[in-house]
Amino acid sequence: MISRRLIIAISLITLAWVALSATLFFYATALREPTEEILFIKISGELTDTTKNFVQNTLNVAKYRGSRLIIISLDTPGGYVDSTERMMDLLDKSEIPVAIFVDHQAISGGTYLLMASHVAVMKSGSQIGSCQPVTGTGEPVTETKYVNYLTGLMRRHAWLHSRNETAAELFVTENLNLHAEEALRFEVIDFIAESPQDLASKLTSYVLIKYQEEEALRFTLVKREEIGNYDPDQSWDFENIDKAPIREFRSTIEILSLPSYLFEFPIALSMPITLLFPSIYDVLVVPLLSLTVTPSLEVILALFSVVNGAAGVVCVILLLSKKTEHPKTANQDH
Protein backbone atom coordinates (compact mmCIF):
# COMPACT_ATOMS: atom_id res chain seq x y z
CA MET A 1 0.00 0.00 0.00
CA ILE A 2 1.24 3.45 -0.89
CA SER A 3 1.65 5.67 2.13
CA ARG A 4 -0.38 8.84 2.61
CA ARG A 5 2.83 10.85 3.10
CA LEU A 6 4.16 9.79 -0.31
CA ILE A 7 0.91 10.80 -2.01
CA ILE A 8 0.94 14.18 -0.24
CA ALA A 9 4.57 14.76 -1.24
CA ILE A 10 3.89 13.90 -4.89
CA SER A 11 0.82 16.14 -4.90
CA LEU A 12 2.77 19.10 -3.50
CA ILE A 13 5.57 18.63 -6.01
CA THR A 14 3.00 18.48 -8.82
CA LEU A 15 1.28 21.66 -7.67
CA ALA A 16 4.61 23.46 -7.42
CA TRP A 17 5.52 22.30 -10.92
CA VAL A 18 2.21 23.55 -12.35
CA ALA A 19 2.61 26.86 -10.49
CA LEU A 20 6.06 27.26 -12.05
CA SER A 21 4.55 26.62 -15.47
CA ALA A 22 1.85 29.23 -14.94
CA THR A 23 4.44 31.75 -13.74
CA LEU A 24 6.59 31.19 -16.81
CA PHE A 25 3.60 31.67 -19.07
CA PHE A 26 2.47 34.85 -17.33
CA TYR A 27 5.92 36.37 -17.59
CA ALA A 28 6.79 35.00 -21.03
CA THR A 29 6.31 38.37 -22.72
CA ALA A 30 8.36 40.20 -20.11
CA LEU A 31 11.19 37.69 -20.44
CA ARG A 32 11.55 38.33 -24.17
CA GLU A 33 13.82 41.03 -25.53
CA PRO A 34 12.58 43.00 -28.57
CA THR A 35 13.81 41.44 -31.81
CA GLU A 36 15.21 43.10 -34.89
CA GLU A 37 13.17 40.84 -37.12
CA ILE A 38 10.56 41.42 -39.81
CA LEU A 39 7.52 39.18 -39.43
CA PHE A 40 6.28 38.04 -42.83
CA ILE A 41 3.02 36.36 -43.85
CA LYS A 42 1.37 35.43 -47.14
CA ILE A 43 -2.33 35.94 -47.82
CA SER A 44 -3.77 34.47 -50.99
CA GLY A 45 -7.27 33.68 -52.14
CA GLU A 46 -10.52 35.05 -50.79
CA LEU A 47 -10.57 37.33 -47.74
CA THR A 48 -12.69 35.69 -45.03
CA ASP A 49 -12.98 35.52 -41.24
CA THR A 50 -10.18 32.94 -41.29
CA THR A 51 -7.97 35.54 -42.97
CA LYS A 52 -8.99 38.05 -40.33
CA ASN A 53 -8.00 35.61 -37.56
CA PHE A 54 -4.67 35.02 -39.26
CA VAL A 55 -3.98 38.77 -39.43
CA GLN A 56 -5.04 39.21 -35.79
CA ASN A 57 -2.71 36.42 -34.68
CA THR A 58 0.10 37.92 -36.76
CA LEU A 59 -0.22 41.33 -35.12
CA ASN A 60 -0.30 39.79 -31.65
CA VAL A 61 2.67 37.51 -32.32
CA ALA A 62 4.63 40.45 -33.75
CA LYS A 63 3.88 42.48 -30.62
CA TYR A 64 4.84 39.56 -28.38
CA ARG A 65 8.12 39.06 -30.24
CA GLY A 66 8.89 42.79 -30.49
CA SER A 67 9.17 42.71 -34.29
CA ARG A 68 10.17 45.93 -36.07
CA LEU A 69 7.89 45.50 -39.07
CA ILE A 70 5.15 43.25 -40.43
CA ILE A 71 5.07 42.52 -44.16
CA ILE A 72 1.86 41.04 -45.59
CA SER A 73 2.29 39.60 -49.08
CA LEU A 74 -1.11 39.95 -50.72
CA ASP A 75 -2.54 38.12 -53.74
CA THR A 76 -6.33 38.20 -53.59
CA PRO A 77 -9.40 38.77 -55.77
CA GLY A 78 -11.20 40.27 -52.76
CA GLY A 79 -13.61 38.86 -50.22
CA TYR A 80 -16.28 39.64 -47.67
CA VAL A 81 -16.84 43.28 -46.75
CA ASP A 82 -17.21 42.67 -43.01
CA SER A 83 -14.02 40.55 -42.85
CA THR A 84 -12.10 43.16 -44.84
CA GLU A 85 -13.32 46.00 -42.66
CA ARG A 86 -12.33 44.14 -39.48
CA MET A 87 -8.85 43.64 -40.89
CA MET A 88 -8.63 47.36 -41.67
CA ASP A 89 -9.54 48.06 -38.03
CA LEU A 90 -6.78 45.69 -36.91
CA LEU A 91 -4.23 47.54 -39.05
CA ASP A 92 -5.47 50.85 -37.63
CA LYS A 93 -4.82 49.62 -34.08
CA SER A 94 -1.50 47.90 -34.75
CA GLU A 95 1.39 49.17 -32.63
CA ILE A 96 3.86 47.79 -35.17
CA PRO A 97 3.99 49.23 -38.71
CA VAL A 98 2.37 47.03 -41.35
CA ALA A 99 3.59 46.99 -44.95
CA ILE A 100 1.28 45.52 -47.59
CA PHE A 101 3.20 44.02 -50.53
CA VAL A 102 0.97 43.32 -53.56
CA ASP A 103 2.63 40.32 -55.13
CA HIS A 104 0.23 39.81 -58.05
CA GLN A 105 -3.13 41.43 -57.45
CA ALA A 106 -5.10 43.03 -54.64
CA ILE A 107 -8.51 43.49 -56.18
CA SER A 108 -11.57 44.78 -54.31
CA GLY A 109 -11.02 43.98 -50.61
CA GLY A 110 -7.29 43.72 -51.22
CA THR A 111 -7.20 47.37 -52.29
CA TYR A 112 -9.00 48.37 -49.08
CA LEU A 113 -6.29 46.63 -47.07
CA LEU A 114 -3.58 48.31 -49.13
CA MET A 115 -5.04 51.73 -48.38
CA ALA A 116 -5.17 50.90 -44.65
CA SER A 117 -1.50 49.85 -44.48
CA HIS A 118 1.27 52.00 -43.03
CA VAL A 119 3.51 51.21 -46.01
CA ALA A 120 1.93 50.44 -49.42
CA VAL A 121 4.11 48.61 -51.93
CA MET A 122 3.40 46.81 -55.22
CA LYS A 123 5.41 44.47 -57.37
CA SER A 124 6.02 45.47 -60.99
CA GLY A 125 3.06 44.38 -63.11
CA SER A 126 0.73 43.82 -60.16
CA GLN A 127 -2.77 45.29 -60.15
CA ILE A 128 -5.24 46.87 -57.72
CA GLY A 129 -8.75 48.30 -57.99
CA SER A 130 -12.36 47.26 -58.80
CA CYS A 131 -13.70 48.03 -55.31
CA GLN A 132 -17.43 48.44 -55.97
CA PRO A 133 -19.32 46.02 -53.68
CA VAL A 134 -21.16 43.08 -55.22
CA THR A 135 -23.81 40.65 -54.01
CA GLY A 136 -23.21 36.97 -53.34
CA THR A 137 -24.10 36.22 -56.97
CA GLY A 138 -21.68 38.83 -58.34
CA GLU A 139 -24.22 41.56 -59.13
CA PRO A 140 -22.93 45.12 -58.50
CA VAL A 141 -24.42 46.89 -55.48
CA THR A 142 -25.57 50.35 -56.57
CA GLU A 143 -27.51 51.49 -53.51
CA THR A 144 -26.00 54.78 -52.44
CA LYS A 145 -26.22 53.79 -48.77
CA TYR A 146 -23.56 51.09 -49.24
CA VAL A 147 -21.55 52.71 -52.02
CA ASN A 148 -21.22 56.00 -50.13
CA TYR A 149 -20.21 54.23 -46.94
CA LEU A 150 -17.45 52.26 -48.66
CA THR A 151 -16.33 55.33 -50.59
CA GLY A 152 -15.99 57.18 -47.29
CA LEU A 153 -14.12 54.23 -45.77
CA MET A 154 -11.64 54.24 -48.65
CA ARG A 155 -11.19 58.03 -48.65
CA ARG A 156 -10.73 58.12 -44.87
CA HIS A 157 -7.88 55.62 -44.98
CA ALA A 158 -6.29 57.32 -47.97
CA TRP A 159 -6.30 60.59 -46.02
CA LEU A 160 -5.09 58.87 -42.84
CA HIS A 161 -2.02 57.55 -44.69
CA SER A 162 -1.43 60.63 -46.90
CA ARG A 163 -2.46 58.95 -50.16
CA ASN A 164 -4.46 60.05 -53.20
CA GLU A 165 -8.04 60.49 -51.97
CA THR A 166 -9.47 61.03 -55.45
CA ALA A 167 -8.07 57.73 -56.70
CA ALA A 168 -9.31 56.05 -53.52
CA GLU A 169 -12.84 57.26 -54.27
CA LEU A 170 -12.67 56.20 -57.92
CA PHE A 171 -11.68 52.67 -56.87
CA VAL A 172 -15.21 52.35 -55.48
CA THR A 173 -17.39 54.60 -57.65
CA GLU A 174 -15.78 53.89 -61.04
CA ASN A 175 -14.06 50.56 -60.41
CA LEU A 176 -10.73 52.20 -61.22
CA ASN A 177 -7.89 49.75 -61.85
CA LEU A 178 -4.21 50.62 -61.63
CA HIS A 179 -1.03 48.68 -62.25
CA ALA A 180 2.01 49.31 -60.07
CA GLU A 181 3.59 52.04 -62.18
CA GLU A 182 0.29 53.97 -62.39
CA ALA A 183 -0.35 53.56 -58.66
CA LEU A 184 3.08 55.02 -57.91
CA ARG A 185 2.55 57.92 -60.29
CA PHE A 186 -0.84 58.75 -58.76
CA GLU A 187 0.63 58.53 -55.21
CA VAL A 188 -1.53 55.59 -54.20
CA ILE A 189 1.49 53.55 -53.10
CA ASP A 190 4.83 54.50 -51.56
CA PHE A 191 7.15 52.63 -53.92
CA ILE A 192 7.59 49.55 -56.13
CA ALA A 193 9.58 46.52 -54.96
CA GLU A 194 10.20 43.09 -56.44
CA SER A 195 10.28 41.07 -53.22
CA PRO A 196 9.99 41.45 -49.45
CA GLN A 197 13.79 41.70 -49.31
CA ASP A 198 13.74 44.48 -51.90
CA LEU A 199 10.98 46.20 -49.93
CA ALA A 200 13.14 46.18 -46.79
CA SER A 201 16.15 47.43 -48.75
CA LYS A 202 14.22 50.42 -50.12
CA LEU A 203 12.45 51.14 -46.83
CA THR A 204 15.74 51.65 -44.96
CA SER A 205 15.97 55.29 -46.06
CA TYR A 206 12.45 56.12 -44.80
CA VAL A 207 10.82 57.11 -41.52
CA LEU A 208 7.13 56.54 -40.75
CA ILE A 209 5.73 59.39 -38.72
CA LYS A 210 2.42 60.02 -37.00
CA TYR A 211 1.71 63.71 -36.75
CA GLN A 212 -1.17 65.95 -35.84
CA GLU A 213 -3.03 67.95 -38.45
CA GLU A 214 -5.53 70.25 -36.81
CA GLU A 215 -7.53 67.94 -34.50
CA ALA A 216 -6.62 64.62 -36.15
CA LEU A 217 -3.58 62.35 -36.28
CA ARG A 218 -2.39 60.95 -39.59
CA PHE A 219 0.57 58.95 -40.96
CA THR A 220 3.07 59.69 -43.68
CA LEU A 221 6.19 57.91 -44.94
CA VAL A 222 9.03 60.35 -45.59
CA LYS A 223 12.70 60.27 -46.43
CA ARG A 224 14.85 60.61 -43.34
CA GLU A 225 16.12 64.05 -44.36
CA GLU A 226 12.53 65.34 -44.63
CA ILE A 227 11.50 64.56 -41.07
CA GLY A 228 12.45 68.08 -39.99
CA ASN A 229 9.40 69.37 -41.89
CA TYR A 230 7.10 67.69 -39.38
CA ASP A 231 6.44 67.74 -35.66
CA PRO A 232 6.00 63.98 -35.08
CA ASP A 233 3.73 62.70 -32.36
CA GLN A 234 5.38 59.28 -32.89
CA SER A 235 7.88 57.93 -35.40
CA TRP A 236 9.32 54.62 -36.61
CA ASP A 237 12.79 54.84 -38.15
CA PHE A 238 13.51 52.01 -40.60
CA GLU A 239 17.26 52.54 -40.66
CA ASN A 240 19.08 49.23 -41.28
CA ILE A 241 15.75 47.39 -41.61
CA ASP A 242 17.31 45.67 -44.64
CA LYS A 243 19.65 43.85 -42.25
CA ALA A 244 16.79 42.49 -40.15
CA PRO A 245 16.01 38.78 -40.68
CA ILE A 246 12.68 38.11 -42.38
CA ARG A 247 10.86 35.36 -40.49
CA GLU A 248 7.70 33.82 -41.89
CA PHE A 249 4.72 33.17 -39.67
CA ARG A 250 2.53 30.38 -41.04
CA SER A 251 -1.08 29.69 -40.16
CA THR A 252 -0.34 26.02 -39.47
CA ILE A 253 -2.18 25.85 -36.13
CA GLU A 254 -5.01 28.20 -36.94
CA ILE A 255 -7.35 26.00 -34.87
CA LEU A 256 -5.82 27.69 -31.80
CA SER A 257 -7.22 31.00 -33.03
CA LEU A 258 -10.16 30.83 -30.67
CA PRO A 259 -11.98 34.15 -31.26
CA SER A 260 -14.28 32.89 -34.06
CA TYR A 261 -13.82 29.23 -33.25
CA LEU A 262 -15.03 29.41 -29.67
CA PHE A 263 -18.35 31.13 -30.21
CA GLU A 264 -19.60 28.41 -32.54
CA PHE A 265 -20.19 26.26 -29.48
CA PRO A 266 -23.42 26.52 -27.47
CA ILE A 267 -23.32 29.44 -25.05
CA ALA A 268 -23.70 27.10 -22.09
CA LEU A 269 -20.48 25.32 -23.05
CA SER A 270 -18.45 28.31 -24.19
CA MET A 271 -19.33 30.82 -21.48
CA PRO A 272 -16.82 29.66 -18.81
CA ILE A 273 -13.99 29.71 -21.34
CA THR A 274 -14.98 32.99 -22.99
CA LEU A 275 -14.81 34.74 -19.62
CA LEU A 276 -11.18 33.63 -19.34
CA PHE A 277 -10.35 34.01 -23.03
CA PRO A 278 -8.38 37.30 -22.96
CA SER A 279 -6.02 35.84 -20.36
CA ILE A 280 -5.83 32.45 -22.09
CA TYR A 281 -5.14 34.03 -25.47
CA ASP A 282 -2.38 36.38 -24.29
CA VAL A 283 -0.71 33.95 -21.91
CA LEU A 284 -1.04 30.67 -23.78
CA VAL A 285 -2.18 31.00 -27.39
CA VAL A 286 0.11 33.83 -28.54
CA PRO A 287 3.30 32.21 -27.16
CA LEU A 288 2.26 28.92 -28.78
CA LEU A 289 1.70 30.66 -32.11
CA SER A 290 5.08 32.32 -31.76
CA LEU A 291 6.69 28.89 -31.69
CA THR A 292 5.84 28.48 -35.39
CA VAL A 293 8.19 31.37 -36.19
CA THR A 294 11.22 30.48 -34.06
CA PRO A 295 11.23 28.56 -30.80
CA SER A 296 11.16 30.65 -27.63
CA LEU A 297 13.24 29.19 -24.77
CA GLU A 298 10.93 30.32 -21.98
CA VAL A 299 7.84 29.02 -23.78
CA ILE A 300 9.43 25.65 -24.51
CA LEU A 301 10.38 25.40 -20.83
CA ALA A 302 6.85 26.35 -19.81
CA LEU A 303 5.33 23.79 -22.16
CA PHE A 304 7.68 21.15 -20.80
CA SER A 305 6.61 22.11 -17.27
CA VAL A 306 2.91 21.93 -18.15
CA VAL A 307 3.27 18.49 -19.72
CA ASN A 308 5.16 17.23 -16.70
CA GLY A 309 2.68 18.86 -14.36
CA ALA A 310 -0.23 17.22 -16.18
CA ALA A 311 1.57 13.89 -16.05
CA GLY A 312 2.06 14.38 -12.31
CA VAL A 313 -1.64 15.03 -11.77
CA VAL A 314 -2.50 11.86 -13.68
CA CYS A 315 -0.02 9.91 -11.55
CA VAL A 316 -1.59 11.20 -8.32
CA ILE A 317 -5.06 10.23 -9.55
CA LEU A 318 -3.83 6.75 -10.41
CA LEU A 319 -2.15 6.42 -7.02
CA LEU A 320 -5.31 7.47 -5.22
CA SER A 321 -7.43 5.10 -7.25
CA LYS A 322 -5.08 2.22 -6.47
CA LYS A 323 -5.16 3.06 -2.78
CA THR A 324 -8.95 2.88 -2.72
CA GLU A 325 -9.09 -0.31 -4.80
CA HIS A 326 -6.54 -2.24 -2.69
CA PRO A 327 -8.79 -2.95 0.34
CA LYS A 328 -11.53 -4.27 -1.98
CA THR A 329 -9.11 -6.75 -3.48
CA ALA A 330 -8.03 -7.82 0.01
CA ASN A 331 -11.67 -8.39 1.01
CA GLN A 332 -12.23 -10.55 -2.04
CA ASP A 333 -9.24 -12.73 -1.08
CA HIS A 334 -10.89 -13.46 2.26
In this predicted structure, what is the pLDDT of residue 278? 67
DSSP state of 118: S
Mean pLDDT across the chain, nearest whole number? Answer: 84
Instruction: Give the global pTM.
Output: 0.79
Whether residue 255 has pLDDT greater than 60:
no
Residue 334 lies in a domain: no
Where does residue 80 rank: exposed (0-12), middle (13-18), buried (19+ CB within 10 A)? middle
CB 193 within 8 A of CB 211: no
For 7-18, give one letter per residue: b (16+ CB within 10 A) or e.
eeebbeebeebb
User: Which range marks the domain in which residue 152 is found?
Assistant: 34-251
CATH number, domain containing residue 134: 3.90.226.10
Grade residue 18 by pLDDT with cuts at 50, 70 and 90. low
Tell me how many domains the chain contains. 1
pLDDT tens figures, 65-115: 889 999 999 999 999 999 999 999 999 999 999 999 999 999 999 999 999
> How confident is the model over 287-309, as a mean pLDDT?
69
Q: Is residue 227 part of a domain?
A: yes
Task: Determine the average pLDDT of the residues in 268-282.
Answer: 61
Is 303 among the domain residues? Answer: no
- Sorting pLDDT into bands at 50, 70 and 90, what band is 272? low
With contact defined as beta carbons under 8 Å apart, do 302 and 28 qualify? yes
Residue 87 lies in a domain: yes
Higher-confidence residue: 184 or 12? 184
Supply the pLDDT for residue 12: 77
Residue 281 lies in a domain: no
- Mean pLDDT value across residues 49-56: 92
Residue 330 has pLDDT above 90, yes or no: no
At 215 the pLDDT is: 85
Tell me what pLDDT residue 266 has.
46
pLDDT of residue 106: 98
pLDDT tens profile 126-143: 999 999 999 878 889 999
- The per-residue pLDDT for 21 is 65
- The verdict on residue 197 lying in a domain is yes
Is 296 contained in some domain?
no
d(CA 283, CA 290): 12
The answer to whether residue 189 scores a pLDDT higher than 90 is: yes
- Residue 260 inside a domain? The answer is no
Q: What pLDDT, on the 0 to 100 scale, is given for residue 10? A: 73
Q: Is the pLDDT of residue 253 over 50?
A: no
